[in-house]
Amino acid sequence: MKRIIFCLTFASMALYSLCINQDYHAAMVSAIDDLMNSFTTEEYLQCANRFERIATAEKDMWLPCYYASFAYIQISFMEEDLSKKEKILDKAQQLLDKAFTLAPDESELHVLQAFLYPSRIMVDPVGRGMEYMGKTNESLNHAMELNPDNPRIYFLQAMHTLNLPEAMGGGAEKAKPLFELAAEKFNAFQPENNISPDWGKETNFAELRKLK
């Protein structure tokens, strides 16, 4: 009898856990879909708030913090007020730091860190340029060590190279091979599941078409 009770209890706990995971997954799928179809500051902010609510409920999951940070980074690129931009980036970094505590060896988090730094540069290009360019490269190199097949590494390398002056080793000619490499990586890439990071491919191919 005790064994039967134990089995029933275990089965009930497993079913409860499955329901929670399904709810989490469904919430993430919906929020990610909205995020990837956002264009305005308000839309990105709504998405960030949704992911933060999910993160509060699912404290052991790094992806909600990742996507909330991603949304705030997108907002930062659109914000023209430099003081506001800085505060938005502080919020994005806070969420990213939380994700790092949950998954310190996740390549995607180091890529997202490299995605954040250029917006820091925009606050003070002269004063911050060299420092954050170095930090960007460090983050991408670390991401590559963790997962050399992550296409977003090469996509961001290409974008950074494209936007650098030719005198500093940048420009379209230097960026094109990186966009081509990123395209190869994107074509071969298979996300772990449908809530795993999977952005950048369309933009990479659009930039590559401009250079042909």
pLDDT single digits (tens) 138-167: 999 999 999 999 999 999 999 999 999 898
Q: Is the pLDDT of residue 12 over 90?
A: no
CB 43 within 8 A of CB 11: no
How many degrees, rounded to 5, is the angle at CA 41 between CA 125 and CA 183? 70
Instruction: Give this prediction's pTM.
Output: 0.89
Q: Is the pLDDT of residue 120 over 80?
A: yes
CB 143 within 8 A of CB 114: yes
CA dist 177 and 200 (Å) reads 16
CB 70 within 8 A of CB 112: yes
How many helices and strands, by DSSP H and E, does the chain display? 9, 0
User: What stretches of the chain adopt beta strand conformation (E)?
Assistant: none
Q: Is the pLDDT of residue 14 over 60?
A: no
Residue in 193, 183, 61 with CA at minimum distance from that of residue 53: 61
CA dist 127 and 133 (Å) reads 11
Q: Is the pLDDT of residue 99 over 90?
A: yes
pLDDT at residue 6, as a whole number = 36
CB 195 within 8 A of CB 36: no
CB 156 within 8 A of CB 111: yes
End-to-end CA distance of the chain: 73
147, two tokens: 């997962």
Q: Is the pLDDT of residue 132 over 60?
A: yes
Backbone angles phi, psi at 33, to 5 degrees: -60, -45
